[in-house]
Structure 1
Amino acid sequence: MKNILEVQDLTISFHTFAGEVQAIRGVNFELKKGETLAIVGESGSGKSVTTKSIMRLLPKSNSEIKAGSQILFEGKNLAELSDKEMEKIRGKEISMIFQDPMTSLNPTMKIGKQIAEPLIKHQKVSKQQAKERALELLKLVGLPQPEKRINQYPHQFSGGQRQRIVIAVALACNPKILIADEPTTALDVTIQAQILDLMKNLQKKIDTSIIFITHDLGVVANVADRVAVMYGGKIIEVGTVDEIFYNPQHPYTWGLISSMPSLDTMDENLYAIPGTPPDLLNPPKGDAFAVRNEYAMNIDLLEEPPMFKVSDTHYAATWLLHPDAPKVDPPVAVKRRQNKFPEMNSVKGGK
């Protein structure tokens, strides 16, 4: 499949009173046409900053996309476009669903008008045509009684219904890329499942590519084709969803998987990754995860690991994959998964 988006050496800093926060440090990934890429990691790992930089929504007052960063969308480097040029792309070709639907919608505007707005701006259709399309979109996202509810205000809807409306707004112009920034976090488990099913079905219908941001690995298993794991402003492991779930290689990914509840762990205490994420005012010299990593070696504190190849689709930045590294058994929860799917296991890869 062809890449619709390529992010190369993305480096972003925030200038604060305390100093320069190096929030994103040389991030690389690609998004293929029609696929769903999940970006996972703890709060503060850089997930939302990365995707907001694609939309160019970072505050100009204190953020800086460093020279050399490339966000290539269909050959255009979004990092170098003017505000006027980005306005033609944002909402039309790349759309975003935010975490809290109540703050994403204008409380003073009827929802029909909010869905119609991007259609009038980007597709230059009449108000009547935009209203008809808004009605179609409300039906598409499964909102009950759309003919009646199109004239209602956001406060008249439940949280799950508001998220459906936000999705309708994002899909109004049939974007080529849809960025979903933790779209189910504020919803209860039942509504979460409905929204995830809705997004999967809509993706098939409109053939869009999705970047799905989450800290919940359980969500990832249901929606993603590939997974990128972020830590300390870097992508530290990337692979297909099966590779990340059943053959993870980075100790941080081991920790994330071990902290997931499952039927196998009902009688066990859930694992918690010790310590806290690194201070990106003064990023560590070696592997950012080293001080929290029980498998860390001396080299982890001194030198940053490169991306080692595990398979053609699976890469991980950990010195444990170096040919000279000692063999280390992953935690019980990870080993249990590997034993269920032994065909996913592979030998150590080269650099």
Structure 2
Amino acid sequence: MEKVLEVKDLHISFDVYGGEVQAVRGVSFDLYKGETLAIVGESGSGKSVTSKALMRLLPMPPARIKQGQILLEGRDLTKLSEKEMQRVRGAEISMIFQDPMTALNPTMTIGKQITEVLLKHQQMSKAEAKARAIELLDLVGIKEPALRFKQYPHQLSGGMRQRIVIAIALACNPKVLIADEPTTALDVTIQAQILELIKDIQKKTGTSIIFITHDLGVVANVADRVAVMYAGKIVEKGTVDEIFYNPKHPYTWGLLASMPSLEHGDEELYSIPGTPPDLLNPPKGDAFAPRNAYALKIDYEMEPPMFQVSDTHYAATWLLHPNAPKVEPPKVVRERMKKFEALTKDRGGEKR
């Protein structure tokens, strides 16, 4: 498969009054043409900081990229000037933000907000930009696109506003589309529609997508591969099938166990004990150890390397060391694994 984006050993810090917050600590991943990579984890795990770094949208200062590379088709975005990045943003890599009301300008019509992207990056005439904008509104499922073109954001529902944000992001046929929790501000019914829309658009355009979320239920429906982040690091990565019915890291087990399920009725919802570490002073060893019921002595002394589970599956946990005790995932996680495997079989064994 053709590699579109490579992130290599990315370190990002924020210089604050109390010291240096090490928000991203050595993140590496690849993104291939036409695939969806989901980056999952709790709030504060470094997902959104990583995604904004790809677009060079972090305020510098206080943020700084300490080391690492962000290679878009071989070109290192960390080395580009702001003027050069302005030509990349929107044209080659674009983003769907969480809250469509804050992503859209309330003083500008929908049409103007879409056409300004086209006029800047595509050198179209105003008439061509308008025609293309109406096409995009139709593509994202907006009824009466010519009418909506003239309206303002406050005249549209939340779901329609998110469709507009998607249309703006897609305006220049970007190679990479970053979706930063694009359904968080929407109700469940509209969430499902937006997820279906993103999948449908990807089939039509072949765009590579990075999907940022804390919701593993969303991941199961949209992703080809998954990277699980904790305390600024990727602790497990693999195909969606590997992460869901063969997870290896205790943090991934915790995320799977925390997924609500209608089948469990009145059972108390599981939550991972404790809180994420303070990245002003990252802990020694495995950052997840204090919250990990299966932590070994070495977890408090030495950071685990990435152990290879398969050609596509890696996890940073000492439980995968040949000398480690054999530990099974908790019962609730095993039940989720079986359920996901059954759903895969129901799809006729279809692999993502």
TM-score (norm 1): 0.96
Task: Say whether 1:298 aligns with 2:307.
Answer: no
Task: Say whether 1:3 aligns with 2:7.
Answer: no
Task: Give the conservation status (yes or no) of the 8 Å contact 2:236–2:249.
Answer: yes
Structure 1 partner of 2:350: none
Task: Say whether 1:13 aligns with 2:24.
Answer: no
Could you give the per-residue CA deviations for residues 297-343 of structure 1, whole angstroms, max 9, x where no partner exists?
1100000000000111100000000000001111112212344549x
3-state SS of the aligned residue for 1:281?
coil
d(CA) in 1 for partners of 2:262, 2:154: 38
Task: Say whether 1:121 aligns with 2:151.
Answer: no
d(CA) in 2 for partners of 1:160, 1:332: 37
When the two chains are superposed, the root-mean-square deviation of aligned CA atoms in Å is: 1.2
Could you give the per-residue CA deviations for residues 221-273 of structure 1, whole angstroms, max 9, x where no partner exists?
10000000000000000010011111100000000000112244234222110
Structure 2 partner of 1:28: 28
Structure 2 partner of 1:237: 236
Unaligned runs of 5+ in 2: 345-352
Unaligned runs of 5+ in 1: 345-351
Structure 1 partner of 2:46: 46
3-state SS of the aligned residue for 2:220?
helix
Structure 2 partner of 1:64: 64
Structure 1 partner of 2:311: 312
Counting only pairs closer than 5 Å after superposition, residues 67-106 of structure 1 correspond to structure 2 as 67=67, 69-106=68-105
3-state SS of the aligned residue for 2:326?
coil
Could you give the per-residue CA deviations for residues 33-67 of structure 1, whole angstroms, max 9, x where no partner exists?
10000000000000000010000000012111013
Task: Say whether 1:211 aligns with 2:199.
Answer: no
Structure 1 partner of 2:348: none
The one-letter code matched in structure 2 to 1:52 is K
The one-letter code matched in structure 2 to 1:258 is A
d(CA) in 1 for partners of 2:301, 2:3: 35
Could you give the per-residue CA deviations for residues 142-190 of structure 1, whole angstroms, max 9, x where no partner exists?
1111111110000000000000000000000000100000000000000
Structure 1 partner of 2:347: none
Counting only pairs closer than 5 Å after superposition, residues 191-210 of structure 1 correspond to structure 2 as 191-210=190-209
d(CA) in 2 for partners of 1:245, 1:311: 15
Structure 2 partner of 1:256: 255
Counting only pairs closer than 5 Å after superposition, residues 148-297 of structure 1 correspond to structure 2 as 148-297=147-296
The one-letter code matched in structure 1 to 2:140 is V
Q: Give me the identity figure in percent.
A: 73
3-state SS of the aligned residue for 2:309?
strand
> Structure 1 stretch 144-153 or stretch 161-170: which is displaced more?
144-153
Task: Give the conservation status (yes or no) of the 8 Å contact 2:178–2:209.
Answer: yes
3-state SS of the aligned residue for 2:256?
helix
